[in-house]
Amino acid sequence: MTTTLISGGTVVSATGRAAADVLIDGERIVAVIEPGTALLGTDVAASVDRVIDATGKYVIPGGIDAHTHMQLPFGGTEASDTFETGTRAAAHGGTTSIIDFAVQSYGQRIEDGLAAWHEKASGNCAIDYGFHQIVGDVNADSLAAMKRLPDEGISSFKLFMAYPGVFYSDDAQILKAMQVSRETGLLTMMHAENGPAIDVLAQQLVDAGNTDPYYHGIARAWEMEEEATHRAIMLAKLTGAPLYVVHVSAKQAVEQLAWARDKGQNVFGETCPQYLYLSLEDQLGASSDEWGAFEGAKWVCSTPLRSRAEGHQHSMWQALRTNDLQMVSTDHCPFCMKDQKELGLGDFRKIPNGIGSIEHRMDLMYQGVVTGEITLERWVELTSTTPARMFGLYGRKGVIQPGADADVVVYDPNGHTSIGYGEGRTHHMNMDHSAWEGYEIDGHVDTVLSRGKVIVDGDRYLGAKGDGKYLKRGLSQYLI
Ligand code: URP
Ligand code: ZN
Ligand code: ZN
Ligand code: ZN
């Protein structure tokens, strides 16, 4: 077993920062010590196998991205990152655990959907991985199967109020699933958009000749997100289910969450980097020489990018500060332009929904520290500590303390990261473009350890496919 000392750095947690050395034995952190201390009379640095010099750098718990979709079949194609390529890109970006969504498709049994997801991931991941369960067909059989999910290490499931004919659940199905949520402690995760109403608006836009990606954002109006968020909250209130709303982008949806939380309801929300930085006007409405107005397809995702003129991005940052939103995940769901996004040329409804960001979440959120949107501690909390607590991994993940897995990132605040797909840029995701081309970050992921093994050193990948193990999760540590 290798012993490692990460010395000279500033250890940052959700609650503070301190100059400290981190001692690792094998896969675990065994001590967080005052710099230079002799432990039981021995000079620690001299007695370990390896010293990582973190002078002038931050030492943080590895990122946990609790919302990813590797190899998701969607819109007649499949998300372009495999568990292998997506988790390797995650590692480069300082993320050491993901929670991906196992899919139960309509007409399929949950057990079969879950088994298929294990098949895709097992032996392929660069970092540790867990699953949420998408329930795409709420029926008597799946309601019974949901009750067995905790035995599989799955403590959360996702329902969709959007995508009729694909993953959609109606209110009756949601109510029944939430009753199971209440009974078992499984966290209900909700894609909150009024899908049937959106489909009508989208059809009307297409009929009127408005087929460009921009109209994806018009059809999926914020009112549709606010309404669905409110409905999910009320159904959760009625049933007593704990609720976690995914990929929140509308400021009015945040107001609903804040309202419910102020009334004492167990309701949580996440947003994603795209809703903090990107917009309806600048991205969905973009045009290029190569693609014309179809350029915007790169940013077609649901919920959609919102209008900057309406101030949604500003409100998302604010909600992260006030804790009306508790987490930042990516909703990583990449599709190439060629052969994938292209399916929607001439009809925005056929553009596969999703953006690839898994590699950049830690950097993009760190840039929020640089620009004064969030504190250093909040950065760690939003990207690692809260995801661990929310999804039953805390103690093992999400914190630098004795007994925790040695998932550690050494982050250099004096480094620089140029994000993008083009020449000299950092992209490792399996995509033919970047949704983040040209973004510059005043920081850099220097060293990444996954359970004590250095998997990224500088820009070199030192890990191997299969390093990542399946994470059996406990119930959310936010629930009483
Ligand atoms: O556009 C998105 N978000 N694609 C992934 C599926 C989902 O709804 O999370
Ligand atoms: Zn969704
Ligand atoms: Zn998603
Ligand atoms: Zn780099």
Which value does ipTM take for this structure? 0.95
Residue 386 DSSP SS3: helix
116-154 residue pLDDT tens: 999 999 999 999 999 999 999 999 999 999 999 999 999
**Centre of ligand 1 from the C-alpha of residue 302, in Å:** 5
Neighbours of 234 (CB within 10 A): 14
303, 247 contact by CB (below 8 A): yes
**Centre of ligand 4 from the C-alpha of residue 405, in Å:** 24
Six-digit token string for 302: 């649901």
Q: How many helices (H) and strands (E) does the chain have?
A: 14, 25
Exposed e or buried b for every residue in 351-378, given b needs 16+ CB within 10 A? bbbbbbbbbbbbbbbbbbbeeebbebbb
- The residues pairing with 397 across neighbouring beta strands, listed in sequence order, are 394
Pocket test for ligand 1, best of 65, 67, 68, 69 (most atoms within 8 A of CB): 69
Residue 341: pLDDT band (50, 70, 90) is very high
Q: Which residues line ligand 1 (CB under 6 A)?
A: 69, 191, 247, 301-302, 331, 333, 353-354
**Centre of ligand 3 from the C-alpha of residue 455, in Å:** 26
Sign of torsion, CA 131 134 137 140?
positive
According to CATH, the topology of domain 63-390 is TIM Barrel (3.20.20)
Six-digit token string for 451: 């359970």
The label of the residue with tokens 């409804």 reads 349
Containing 450, the helix (H) or strand (E) segment is strand 444-450
- The residues pairing with 269 across neighbouring beta strands, listed in sequence order, are 245
CATH code of 3-60+401-461, in short, is: 2.30.40.10
> Which ligand has an atom closest to residue 245 CA?
2
Pocket test for ligand 1, best of 353, 355, 357 (most atoms within 8 A of CB): 353
Which candidate, 333, 286, 438, 346, places its Cα nearest to that of 98?
Answer: 333
Prior bond of 303 cis (ω within 30°): yes
> Which ligand has an atom closest to residue 301 CA?
1
Q: What is the pTM of this model?
A: 0.98
156-160: strand order across its sheet = 63-68, 95-104, 128-135, 156-160, 187-191, 243-245, 267-271, 327-328
Sign of torsion, CA 125 76 333 146?
negative
89, 358 contact by CB (below 8 A): yes
Which protein residue has the closest C-alpha to ligand 1 atom 4?
354
191-231 residue pLDDT tens: 999 999 999 999 999 999 999 999 999 999 999 999 999 99
Show me where the domains of the chain are located. 3-60+401-461, 63-390
24-68 residue pLDDT tens: 999 999 999 999 788 778 888 899 999 999 999 999 999 999 999
> Which ligand has an atom closest to residue 101 CA?
3
Which protein residue has the closest C-alpha to ligand 1 atom 3?
302
Which protein residue has the closest C-alpha to ligand 1 atom 8?
302
Helices 171-184, 222-239: axis angle to 10 degrees equals: 50
For ligand 1, what atom is nearest to the CA of residue 163? 8
**Centre of ligand 2 from the C-alpha of residue 247, in Å:** 7
Average pLDDT, the chain: 97
